[in-house]
Amino acid sequence: MHDASSGSTHCVVRPLVRILGLMTDLGVLQGLSDRGSLVDQVRESIQSAITSGRLDPGDRLREIPLSKHFGVSTTPVREALRRLESDGLVQVHPRRGAVVTALQDGVVADLYDLRLVLEAEALRLAVARTDLELGPVYGLLGELERLVDVGDAAFAEVDVQFHRAIDDLGGNRELAAEAERIHRRIQAARVRASVPGRLRIAQDQHAEIVEALRKREPDLVQEAVRRHITSAKDNVLGFLRARSTTVEPATPVVDAALAAVD
């Protein structure tokens, strides 16, 4: 005879398990590219899935399923996860694999503040240079314009590329690389903070930054980048805080689900 109460519990556990990332769908991961080492390729695929929102906070990433998915040994997978942990995108737990990091609003605020310091300095250096080449920046600005109406996931990756391009103008590649690392951590939260009209505002602010760079106006550049990053910070924090007031506390069923898989 079918146990109705058991079946009901099972039906509840399955979606909760999926929400908690214990049945991660690896189909959201892009195939490996031909760029760089196997470690770089695995890392890039997982990183893209996290920062675009295809992988959610709490999703679990295990070495063996990942190695089978990518068709590689566990060695490059293990190293890729270690590097992603160093980037702040996952947390690695012994014998339990890695889990996509869930950023708290305080951490997000700190990351935005740090990003502002780094990007403001990169653009200060850029304005002072005599060999400022804006061609690649205009190309990415045009690509972002085409993606404004497509959606956050498509816009997010090119957004990172755009900001890396303007930061590279300063000539300090270590500074630009660190700014990109911070930006990618933020994107994992920002891509979920979808507010109607937000991409249009962000793109208009991008154009303001590039125009200020073209004019080589240091004060205008600093004002534009501060307005852009502060606006993005307020948007994401507003979303996270609003969500935190509506999330229900975990139930015993969740604990049972975790116990069943560990």
Spatial separation of the C-alpha atoms in residues 59 and 28, rounded to whole Å: 12
Q: Are 4-102 and 105-244 in the same CATH fold?
A: no
- Residue 37 phi, psi dihedral angles, 5° rounding: -75, 170
The domain spans of the chain are 4-102, 105-244
pTM: 0.74
Spatial separation of the C-alpha atoms in residues 32 and 42, rounded to whole Å: 6
Spatial separation of the C-alpha atoms in residues 80 and 150, rounded to whole Å: 30
Which structure tokens are listed for 78? 């293990």
The pLDDT profile of the chain, 262 residues, written as one tens digit per residue, is 444 444 443 333 334 334 444 557 888 887 888 788 999 999 989 988 888 788 888 899 999 999 999 999 999 999 999 999 988 889 998 877 899 988 888 999 999 999 999 999 999 999 999 889 999 999 999 999 999 988 777 888 899 999 999 999 999 999 999 999 999 888 877 877 767 788 999 999 999 999 999 999 999 999 999 999 999 999 889 887 877 665 444 433 333 333 334 4
For position 190, what pLDDT does the model report?
80
For position 246, what pLDDT does the model report?
58
Strands lying side by side in the sheet with 60-61: 60-61, 97-100, 90-93
Topology of domain 4-102, CATH: Arc Repressor Mutant, subunit A (1.10.10)
For position 23, what pLDDT does the model report?
53
3-state secondary structure of 46: helix
Q: Which option is the CATH number for 105-244: 1.10.10.10, 1.10.3720.10, 1.10.20.60, 1.20.120.530?
A: 1.20.120.530
DSSP state of 31: P
For position 244, what pLDDT does the model report?
66
For position 126, what pLDDT does the model report?
97
Per-residue DSSP letters for 135-161? HHHHHHHHHHHHHTTT-HHHHHHHHHH
Rounded alpha-carbon distances, angstroms, from residue 61 to 9, 17, 195: 25, 14, 29
Per-residue DSSP letters for 79-142? HHHHHHHHTTSEEEETTTEEEE----HHHHHHHHHHHHHHHHHHHHHHHH-S----HHHHHHHH
